[in-house]
Amino acid sequence: MNTFRRLVLAALIAAAALSLGLSGALAQSPSPAPAASASPSSTSPAPSASPSPAASASPAPVATPSPAASASPAPAASPSPAASASPSPQAPPPAAAATPAPVQTADPFGLETTLEPKKVVMVKGTANWDSAFDTLIDAFKALNTLLDKQGIKHAGNSMIVYTSTDDTGFTFLAEIPVEQDPKNLPKDMSIGKSPEGKALKFVHRGSYDNMDNTYEAITNHLDDKRLEAKDTFIEEYLTDPLKTAEDKLVINVFVPLK
């Protein structure tokens, strides 16, 4: 857009310069008249070359200025080609060259979706809000250690399912999708299925501590739409929380509906 504007201004400035050139040429157009009067002096040697006084009275020398006078309109005619050579018709091409700015799509916010159940290995835990993220990281580490020892690969993204919350903390299930059952599970771990059913999808980008703003926006969205959610929230970590800087996290938040 700035390039197009700059080219238009350049065309306008060029047109203004041409108009000033025309006005200057018109203002100086009377000057050739004195030049015509001075032309006889340049042709005066022709009469002086004739020794006869009768030749000076001859009208022939008078006829010689007439070619100079006829040539005098030539300077007056020269501005007209300059006026016809105006570059202003070249202004339209930049307008055709202008391209629209690329459109960036926003993350889903309140997108209706259906969760499909997956086989997961899970561990139960409790946490207080002051050390919430560290507690979740410890739970994911415990699950990954178990799977790595048995050579079991992830079959999906790590998840946190909040089962209850209060002012001091919350209880949760840390889940990792798998395709085969791990063996020799500790007492706090088990095999189960991830949540299923209709839900709304939201996206959070940034640190875990800043998720308060995301959940506040989710609550406002539910109130505006008059939707009733179940007493649980699901976080799907699209970036590995064990390897990604906390402020670079990308998390899908699913809100199951009643």
Looking at the predicted structure, is the pLDDT value of residue 143 above 90? yes
Model pLDDT, residue 92: 55
Model pLDDT, residue 221: 95
State how far the Cα of 94 lies from the Cα of 1, in Å rounded to an integer. Answer: 10
- Using 50, 70 and 90 to split pLDDT, how confident is the model at 213? very high
Looking at the predicted structure, is the pLDDT value of residue 120 above 60? yes
Highest mean predicted confidence (pLDDT) among 78-82, 103-107, 236-240: 236-240
For residue 173, count CB atoms less than 10 angstroms from its CB and return exposed for 0-12, middle for 13-18, buried for 19 or more. buried
State how far the Cα of 100 lies from the Cα of 15, in Å rounded to an integer. Answer: 28
Residue 172 sits at the vertex; the CA angle it makes with 170 and 174, to the nearest 5 degrees, is 145
**Which of 5-9, 131-135, 180-184 is the least confident region?**
5-9
pTM of the model: 0.60
- Using 50, 70 and 90 to split pLDDT, how confident is the model at 231? confident
- Using 50, 70 and 90 to split pLDDT, how confident is the model at 106? confident
Quick check: helix, strand or coil at residue 4? helix
Top pLDDT among 200 and 93 is at 200
- Using 50, 70 and 90 to split pLDDT, how confident is the model at 94? low
Looking at the predicted structure, is the pLDDT value of residue 91 above 60? no
